[in-house]
């Protein structure tokens, strides 16, 4: 550990995310996340607001995963929390400053990116009160997720980070 404290264990499961210290320990080298060139806006809209709009109510009254695809970008939307919330992920080219992985989003900028898209999507984005931009990063595929001893293994993003478009 960074603090100098040592621990002993019979089994170690590393599930410490994309920037995994356990992954680097298993590989025996530094292995920082790789930039994908994309970012994601992550949005949640109250379904009750969508039900008030004739253009949007079908998205929440007939639950399904809705995908919008266009130039250099795509959007995925679906219901959460028993139909109370509509979750959206908008993937588009990364424009975050270097070394910034998340930032509060400019709603005007987000809406302009999708201004020529489906009128329903445009209307839905008008309901967004705030959101953030998240730089999408990934890791190289590993040949093995566990140590040959069988006493050290990785789980989740530490060994197989998944992008929202895979």
Active site residues: 42
- Cβ atoms of residues 141 and 166 within 8 Å: no
Q: C-alpha distances in angstroms, 87 versus 38, 40, 71, 114?
A: 19, 13, 22, 17
Closest CA relative to residue 87, chosen from 110, 69, 64: 64
Q: How many other C-beta atoms can be found within 10 angstroms of the C-beta atom of residue 21?
A: 13
């Amino acid at each position: 550990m960074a603090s100098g404290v040592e621990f002993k264990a019979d089994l170690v499961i590393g599930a410490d995310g994309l920037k995994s210290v356990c992954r680097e320990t298993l590989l025996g080298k530094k292995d920082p996340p790789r930039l994908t060139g994309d970012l994601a806006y992550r949005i949640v809209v109250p379904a009750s607001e969508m039900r008030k709009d004739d253009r949007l109510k079908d998205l929440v009254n007939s639950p399904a995963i809705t995908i919008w695809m266009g130039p250099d970008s795509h959007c995925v939307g679906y219901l959460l929390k028993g139909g109370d919330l509509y979750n959206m992920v908008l993937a588009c080219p990364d424009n975050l400053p270097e070394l910034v992985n998340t930032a509060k989003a400019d709603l005007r900028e987000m809406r302009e990116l999708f201004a020529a898209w489906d009128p329903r999507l445009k209307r839905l984005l008008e309901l967004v009160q705030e959101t953030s931009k998240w730089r999408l990063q990934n890791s190289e595929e590993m040949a093995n997720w566990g140590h040959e001893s069988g006493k050290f293994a990785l789980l989740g993003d530490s060994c197989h980070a998944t992008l929202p478009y895979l």
